[in-house]
Amino acid sequence: MQAKKIKTALISVFYKDKLEQIVRILQQQQVTIYSTGGTQKFIESLNIPVVAVEDLTGYPSILGGRVKTLHPKVFGGILARREKSEDEAQLTQYEIPPMDLVIVDLYPFEEALKAEASEEEMIEKIDIGGISLIRAAAKNFQEVAVVASRHQYELLTEILQKNEGSTTLAERKQLATLAFATSSHYDATIFDYFNKQTQASDAFKVSIPQAQTLRYGENPHQKGVFYGHLTEMFEQLNGKALSYNNLVDVDAAVGMLEDLQSTESVFIIIKHTNACGVAIAATPKEAYLNALKADPVSAFGGIIITNQPIDKAVAEELHQLFFEVLIAPSFEEDAFTILKAKKNRILLKQHPQKLPKAQYKTLLNGVVWQEKDTQVAQQADFTFVTEKQPTTTEQSALVFAAKIAKHAKSNTIVLAKENQLLASGVGQTSRVDALKQAIVKAKNFGFDLQGAVMASDAFFPFPDCVEIAQTEGITAVIQPGGSIRDQDSIDFCNQHQMAMVFTGVRHFRH
């Protein structure tokens, strides 16, 4: 395809890094450069000729820089259709130079948002001229090449060097697509900022500019892509690329650890988004070994997360297990040497970061949105509904069990003792089946349920679960309450010296 030579370029950018190489290539190709403000001064500092936009328009930058490029002599040169004789005639009549290349970026609205800037600062970061230049140049991609972000400088440099200062129609269309991606993301971010305050619109708008192609989706025959900024949350130190299923399990692990805050060591083992091992102990090694006891079979190929640095002692234990991913705040050098011996083993260093307060997913022909479930069981919120109250040790165990149940697939039952998961039944259509599953697992792995506690993610519609629990030696129960037959379960507990507390908060997880 015949290339179009770049003869003129308009450059007006907020960020100047990586711009010098492009400007020097344009100078070598004898391109006339037009610019504004700080960009103009930057180009002049390189001893490269540049025409001030003010000299082109006959108007200075006004209103504190709010109006610089909004003028027919600028936009006429960008939007003119060169194949139309009337457009060409008007360019000549009004002495408007046609623009072949527009390089613009936008005021850093998103960066100001992350920095929690004031409303006045946020408003001043809403770009007007830049967004207009991008849209105009992208619209007229038949004639004009547009670069809307410094992240596209490398691509432009490659095009200019390959084509010796020219662009093809296909390249201009590619650049226009990237420009519209930039402008639409910018507008979506601004909309979200205002709509969170005003709730004026019911529109669902989400823009995530980064994408990572995955090996496949949940299964090899499905394509998969992750949209987001993983590097803000993790630094991958070792192993193969994260898969779709890895990411789903990592999300479950991070969410549970967020609720299980402790000054002691916490270890969680996740399999298919459910915890198959959880423990809190004085040392990472002790916490890991206690977590592993709950289900060493399911732990094979699982996802492991901890709140403590990985030391040599726990690394030696971990190295004996095949697992997919290990997430920790840091890895001591000798521990890292041990763990990286398996080249496919994924080791993630987790960075502290606030997680989003909203969740959404596609359903049918639309999207459902909800607030994140941030309610966490606390002893202060207990409603004691039985004659016997749980002991201090049991209350601690009930809080621990309830936090695990919150993150398991419904219907779920969790059996625990203080700071250690014994077993859980998850994703069952019957709460009774969930309890029976948990009991069988606990016994299979050698746990004594005498004195254990039971947590349920939702209320008991009948007393059958507490009846079964009592026969196994379980002494305390935590549940939301709210059934019209709550009293049946309370009465049974009173008759058998069991303690029960209500939280008033259901934690279904579908």
**Known catalytic residue at 41:** no
Helix, strand or coil for residue 336? helix
Q: How do the residues of the chain divide into helix, strand and coil, expressed in percent and rounded to 5?
A: 40, 20, 40
Give me Rg for the CA atoms of the chain. Answer: 31
CB atoms within 10 A of CB 475: 22
Helix, strand or coil for residue 219? coil
> Cα(324)–Cα(341) distance, rounded to whole angstroms?
14
| 16, 151, 173, 272: the active-site residue | 272
**Known catalytic residue at 139:** yes
> Cα(188)–Cα(183) distance, rounded to whole angstroms?
9
CA angle 440, 441, 442 (to 5 degrees): 95
Contacts of 165 (CB under 8 A, 6+ apart): 5, 6, 25, 26, 28, 29, 31
DSSP letter (8 states) at residue 390: P
**CA dihedral (466, 469, 471, 473) positive or negative:** negative
| 7, 16, 139, 388: the active-site residue | 139
CB atoms within 10 A of CB 457: 26
Q: How far is CA 136 from CA 80, 188, 225, 467, in A?
A: 10, 19, 31, 72
User: Hey, which residues are catalytic here?
Assistant: 139, 272
